[in-house]
Structure 1
Amino acid sequence: MGKVIGFVTGLVFGLGLVVSGMANPAKVLNFLDLFGTWDPSLAFVMGGAVLVTFVGYRLTWTRKIPLLGGVFELPRRRDLDLRLITGAAAFGIGWGLGGFCPGPAVTSVLLAAPGTLVFVPAMLLGMWGARQLPANALAAREPAPERA
């Protein structure tokens, strides 16, 4: 049942990306172009997402266990490391240059959107390349995280 719910949730998410314009790279690039053809409409999409997430988390934390069982798992680390900063910078640069982030890009492939035939393979290659780096390649330059 969990896989069916995950599939339906993914479909709703993808539909939301298409309806909101997040799967349209021109709309995303216009949102990022503050001093040109700025289109503030995606700010409303983000605001709506923040509001839904806020309410969703408040409702979720009233439960002792997740709706589908198991336990709630939250990240424990709160430090910034070189790997996180490098990944965030690569994400932002890719989003700014291509107008896509991973979710909308995959959705746009299914819509045969122009540009995705270059962006998505490059994104997948970058993901694969990041996994090929030794786990200590970036960590060697940083102090070890403190253990609690």
Structure 2
Amino acid sequence: MTVSIGDTIPNLDLTATGGRSVKLSEYQGKHLVLYFYPKASTPGCTQEGQNFRDAAEAFAAANTVILGASRDSLKAQETFKAKQGFNFDLLSDQDEALCRAFDVIKPKKMFGKDTVGVERSTFLIDAAGVLRQEWRGVKVKGHVEEVLAAARSLATSPPA
């Protein structure tokens, strides 16, 4: 099943930094930004994570939690989080269950070769666990500000 706007998100078991097992339902009561990136410790993914890190207090003020996700190993995620000082958890989705649920595995061209990988995408989920907004094929510059504006709007609007 692929999640679409207006759907309740699946309650998958996920591995988060810190070696914790989490379920997306644990975040109900708060809004959730779930962003997918292609590969930990690469330039674009590092910049995107730093932008979310730097805006984390503003997201918290909007009752919004941030989670980053990729197909990287937990060890790679731990290293990435520590090196960049991320103040939010990263999810290791090596079995691609979360990626498939949000349909972010896409065909890509890399160095002239056809491959498949994670399309940089962000999803805004409300406090009831319903997908409210999505951004696909994200360009890093200005993206976090756009997501923050949407989170602030969600935080101030009455529940649907």
Bigger RCO of structures 1 and 2 (CA < 8 A, at least 6 apart): 2
Q: Which has the higher strand share?
A: 2
Structure with the greater alpha carbon radius of gyration: 1
Return the TM-score normalized by structure 1.
0.27
Return the TM-score normalized by structure 2.
0.25
